[in-house]
Structure 1
Amino acid sequence: MLGNRSYDHDKYRRLVRELGVKPLIARRCTEHGSGLGTQRRLVERAFAHLHRFRSLRIRWEIRDDIHEAFLTLGCALICWRRLQSFRQEFSLPPPTGLP
């Protein structure tokens, strides 16, 4: 789990470890440039891509399974679009065996 300096407290580190997750939280009063920002940028960008879909930006569904299905569909669409742009960028032929 990545966290910024505002979560630098033993209480939060302990809670995360109890869940079986290794915390990567920047320490307070230390110099910036730990490199955690480059990893967090990927996560922030993924959330930005998902928020393009209105049904994911504002959660209208009460049931968790429906919301999870929309999340899965959104991730699949993001991956598909990314692969399409990659294929166009490198002029790759379409895959064989697909309709």
Structure 2
Amino acid sequence: MALLVVDLRVKKGEQLPWIVQDSLWERIEPLLPKVERRRRHPGRKRLDDRLALQGILFVLYTAIPWEFLPQELGFGSGMTCWRR
């Protein structure tokens, strides 16, 4: 099995490519459906849509499998982003 190495270095003053800027988020957010939480059997609290999108972009940028999305980044689990 080949190991894929991705260079994650970012130049000084450059933003990480998977971080969604406020100006872009203002354009994307109105296009997403508003999901209300069920009163009865609410289940687990939903992850913020912006964080889920950033998790998706991270996986696409780094080409890692969904299940290896690092929890430390705060994007939720890989399965959460994959289901979105």
Shared topology, TM-score over 0.5?
no
The structure carrying a bigger helix percent of its residues is 1
The structure with the largest strand share of the pair is: 1
TM-score for both structures, normalised by structure 1: 0.29
- Provide TM-score, normalisation by structure 2: 0.32
